[in-house]
Amino acid sequence: MTESHLTETPAETPTRPLRVVAVSGSLHAPSKTTVLLKEILASVSRELPIDAHLIGVHEIGEQFAGALRRDQLPATIEAELDRIESADLLIVASPVYRASFTGLFKHLFDFVDQYALVDKPVLLAATGGSDRHALIIEHQLRPLFGFFQALTLPIGVYAKDSDFTDYRVSSLDLQERIDLAVTRALPLIRSRRESLEAAL
């Protein structure tokens, strides 16, 4: 090896922004669930360059609610499913409705390919009227994404209505929980990304 080889610095590959797709299961606008997702996205973007896309079920629900199979979906919904399936990081949140996620949130994920989320980091979040249904994250969202063999991130974020004032996060505890969930997620997201880039 010549000296010039020894001193050469490898050409740096610019890292593209992390493709983050956030899915809100809320049926309303304005929505506390969507506000929560935006706060989580803001927290991630303080740590990493991201290319964020937010999907609101309240906006697109009517386009897929009546479909029974994926081949019946319009191109707009197919494009949203492609974004979900190809994201580097998914952040999903639903309001609690009747002790579960909303029906349309589940209906959207029923169209996602069974193997498209394998090993994909997924940050789980939910909102509810009180703390009584906070375990929706562990008992309903985590098993759903476990079915997909996704990498559900260790800390989920649950918010109750009183954590918001005028559709803004007004609880310091909630803001800290968001930042903690993101901080704990980052090493997993970074290491998965590095291994995917090394495999290219």
What residues make contact with ligand FMN under the rule CB under 6 A?
Answer: 26, 28, 31-33, 95-99, 127-130, 132-133, 161
| Residues in contact with 133: Cβ distance below 8 Å, sequence separation at least 6, in sequence order | 96, 99, 126
Closest residue to ligand FMN using C-beta atoms: 128
Nearer to ligand FMN, 55 or 96 (CB): 96
CB 154 within 8 A of CB 101: no
Q: Cβ closer to ligand FMN: 95 or 121?
A: 95
Residues 42, 39: Cα–Cα separation, whole Å: 5
Give whichever of 31 and 120 is closer to ligand FMN, judged by the CB atom: 31
- Give least dist CB 129 to ligand FMN, A: 3
CB of 156 to ligand FMN, least distance (A): 15
Least separation in angstroms between residue 128's CB and ligand FMN is: 3
CB 69 to ligand FMN: min, Å: 27
Helix (H), strand (E) at residue 24: strand 18-24
Angle formed by the axes of helices 32-45 and 172-198, nearest 10°: 60
CB-wise, 119 or 161, nearer to ligand FMN?
A: 161
